[in-house]
A and B are shown apart, each in its own frame.
Chain A
Amino acid sequence: MATEIRTGIRKGLGPSDSFFSQEVPLVLYLLLSAALFALGILVSLSSAISFTVFMSIELMLNAVNLSFVTFAHQWHAVKGQIFVFFVMMVAAAEAAVGLAIIIAVFRARATLAVDRID
């Protein structure tokens, strides 16, 4: 397994790949996913509006989905894509319930700021 992973990484980062080659190094996808996840954490910690916190959670879920699709592409296995499908469904359910909770909290507290909810 370790040698396969090493081979995959070497294939993704191969020095023979020119800049305009057909294959995109898969590590770039993972770096983009990590950057999106870090930005999601940053937004969720720094934002004061409950909507933005909720949207940053969706952003983090999308970043994880990108990692799943990248690994599924590397291993040529479709189960990673199935997991992304399940994550999407759970995110849809979460968005419905979460927005209903935000509306209920707004009705009770008349504010959208997370610091003033409790």
Chain B
Amino acid sequence: MHLILFLLFAGFCLGGAINLLLQSHPINSALSLIVVMTSLAVLYLLLGAEFLAAAQIIVYAGAIMVLFVLTVMLLIRRARRAHHGQPHLARRRLSRSGDGLRRDCHSPAARTPDGQCRTAGWHHLHGRLSRVLFHELLLPFEVTSVLILIAILGAVALARHGHGDPHGDSERTGTK
């Protein structure tokens, strides 16, 4: 039964990832990424990580992907309007010199978990999980909350940068 479920949802995962590669429209890519993340949540359940499956559904498929889909739908419409209505605007912007966008991908360092509690079952998984999270790794947990707070502040600061002129694409070209 586990193998059948694994093969089914691994197929969903791979199909969603290949669909992400093949689709040209970003909204289709975002929807296939939601399929990948939901299937990964089922695989986490098969591996005995119930808490992570719930967190995957809530955080990834719930919060992050809603943010993605919302932003894609917002920007694609504006991009189409800008493309059809003002075809010369993008070319004019391209002539300006500017700093590039650098994006770092932090892949987590692979650490081998120690083999403690090997004989214990998974019955008290959440108790052990919370004990590790709130006793041994309390400082990283709090640092992560500070990181999220800083990220929210940074996102608000970036969003407020052009606040006040929602149609200000053409007006701001002359000022910057």
Contact = CB atoms under 8 A, between A and B. Distances in A.
Interface of A: 4, 19-24, 28-29, 32, 35-36, 39-40, 42-43, 46, 49-62, 64-73, 75-112, 116-118
A64 to B, nearest CB: 6
B152 to A, nearest CB: 7
A80 B44 CA distance: 12
Classify the secondary structure of A's interface with B: helix
Given A55-B30, A98-B103, A65 B40 contact: yes
Given A77-B113, A100-B159, A107 B133 contact: no
B169 A110 contact: yes
Interface in B36-73: 36-37, 40, 43-44, 46-49, 51-52, 55-56, 59-60, 63-64, 67-68, 71-72
B83 to A, nearest CB: 9
Contacts, number: 248
Contacts of A73: 47-49
Interface of B: 1-4, 6, 10, 13-14, 17-18, 20-21, 26, 29-30, 33, 36-37, 40, 43-44, 46-49, 51-52, 55-56, 59-60, 63-64, 67-68, 71-72, 74-76, 78-79, 82, 86, 89-90, 93-94, 98, 100-101, 103, 105-108, 110-118, 120, 122, 125, 128-129, 132-133, 137, 140, 144, 147-148, 150-152, 154-155, 158-159, 161-162, 169, 172, 176
